[in-house]
Amino acid sequence: MTDTTVTWLTQEAHDRLQAELAHLSGEGRTQIAERIAAARDEGDLKENGGYHAAREEQAKNEARIRELTEKLRNVRIGTPPDDGKVEPGMVVTAVVAGDEMTFLLGSREIAGTTDLDVYSPTSPLGAAIDGKTVGDETSYTAPNGNEIAVRITAAKPFEG
């Protein structure tokens, strides 16, 4: 993530991510360290499945801490302006390859419990429509090499 990348989050999503970060950085780290110490006390580390599992869990925990820290570094709480411009935090309706679809452009964290599909701004579709406005037509190259036509029909801020 670059310094200019902004993540739009609802207040609920921001609070949820802050709480997860606090847990993983505090109690989560402590619990994993205790499991590693207990497994280490069992003896031979080469064939100690509990030790290796706890170390793997520790690595995943640290990776999630880094991810959350970076995500929360460049966050804006609220919603993007309702100006018809497609950007992260917007619910977009578009005709994609002839089919109308509605989805959230942004991160899974903002979506919370919604049943909307979520597309990252860095995905092929997301990158093609980011910055476009209602009525614009564009296209992107699908992973299979096909060129997919897209027409933006609506863009509204995600309300959560």
- What sign for the dihedral angle of Cα 109, 115, 116, 117? positive
**pLDDT one-digit tens code per residue, 59-101:** 999 999 998 998 888 888 887 888 889 998 899 999 999 999 9
Number of domains in the chain: 2
Residue at which a domain ends, from 77, 108, 127? 77
Buried residues in 38-72 as b, exposed as e (16+ CB within 10 A): ebeeeeeeeebeebeebbeebeebeeebeebeebe
Rounded mean pLDDT, 93-111: 89
Mean pLDDT of the chain, nearest integer: 87
**pLDDT one-digit tens code per residue, 15-29:** 989 999 999 999 999
pLDDT at position 108 over 80: no
Asked if residues 61 and 24 have their Cβ atoms less than 8 Å apart, the reply is yes
Residue at which a domain ends, from 57, 77, 97? 77
152, part of any domain: yes
Residue at which a domain ends, from 58, 77, 96? 77
In the chain, pLDDT over 90 holds for what percent of residues? 52
Structure tokens at 33: 């360290």
pLDDT band of 11, cuts 50, 70, 90? confident
Do 72 and 12 belong together in one domain?
Answer: yes
* Alpha-carbon torsion, ordered 11, 15, 21, 25, to 10 deg: 150
Range of the domain at 135: 85-157
